[in-house]
Amino acid sequence: MNSPKEIFERVVKGMNFMTPSLIRHGRQGDLVYELSTGPGIIQGTKIYGVTVVDARTREEDHDLSDCFRTQEAAEKHISTLRDTIDHELNVYRFSG
């Protein structure tokens, strides 16, 4: 089985220019993510990016990827990823 980092790097090539410093790769259900950081627009601030890849389709999920002002907010977003994909699958199952 491939690690979250391996899956992520097959889909997303190179580093994000806005958040080039990697914090970690991880997985929430069928979603693989990268949490990274970089300098904010205002001197002395940081931004945190969460880039999400669907491990089933091997495609980047731009709707679930986002940028945050704090690591705490980014971590909260990551913690909701499993619920998001579970909800989408249930909607698909019941509507399709």
Q: What is the pLDDT of residue 83?
A: 75
Per-residue confidence band for 85, with pLDDT thresholds at 50, 70 and 90: low
Backbone angles phi, psi at 16, to 5 degrees: -75, 125
Chain segment 10-59, per-residue pLDDT in tens: 999 988 899 999 999 999 989 999 999 999 999 999 999 999 999 999 99
Residue labelled with tokens 């880039």: 51
13 burial level (CB within 10 Å; 0-12, 13-18, 19+) = exposed
Q: What is the pLDDT of residue 86?
A: 56
Give pTM, 2 decimals: 0.84
